[in-house]
Amino acid sequence: MRALFIQHDHVSPLGPVGERFAHHGFAIDTHLVVAESDFSAPNIETSFPSFADYDVLVPLGAPWGAWDDACIGRWLLPEIAWLRDAVDSRMPVLGICFGGQLLARALGGSVAPAPRGEIGWTSVWSDDPGLVGEGPWFQFHYDRWVVPPGAVEIARTPAASQAFVVGRSLAVQFHPELDAAGLEGWLDWGGASKVQENGDDPVVMLAQTRAFETAARDRTFALVDAFLTDVAGLLPRA
């Protein structure tokens, strides 16, 4: 089986999500949307690969708003249409943070700036802890979705919806792919100032992430396993 991960910028590693897909025998391809050289002017054009060549799609996070057509619309709108066509063809999608927001827009929901952002390790209230555990999960977002028609919200925090299921697809607002190496990249590329603006210490946050890494990886493995088995139907139940 083949999985396509959409990396919207050069600091979006696959982390333990990619590790778990590889463990299950998936051949993994990646498509980089905004290269490092375009990071400061991200409204570029790109052609997305044919989703028919894959068994599952995993659009990852991004530092831009999934609502911001003016900033990144030259590739944002085509990706939304691409995801809509993929889901219409019954292609499974695991949308992570920005990727989950794109899935919401593609299926008739919406995305807008939230009253407040969420940054750091946060527990979620889950209706289906066998699929989406309560965490804590790492958050780094300022926007939130309105769940699309026909989808079922299965997790939330007081600030935002955190997960929904629709057909063979799952969207999560948090970052199961995040590990310490990934956070270092985010902090180096503008994240540190955002953490400080939120009233937090990036050095402490990174140390906390290192301390949580083993347990967080186990939670991510469980989420990927449940997605592939119970939502996407790509793996047999044990």
The residues annotated as belonging to the active site are: 97, 175, 177
Tokens of 95: 């949308």
Q: Is 206 helix (H, G, I), strand (E, B) or coil?
A: helix
Q: Tokens 């926007």 — which residue?
A: 143
Alpha carbons 85 and 105: distance in angstroms, whole number: 13
Tokens of 103: 């899935």
Q: Among residues 186, 178, 109, which one has the least CA distance to residue 145? A: 109
> Widest CA span of the chain, in angstroms?
47
At position 217, the amino acid (one-letter code) is R
Alpha carbons 83 and 31: distance in angstroms, whole number: 14
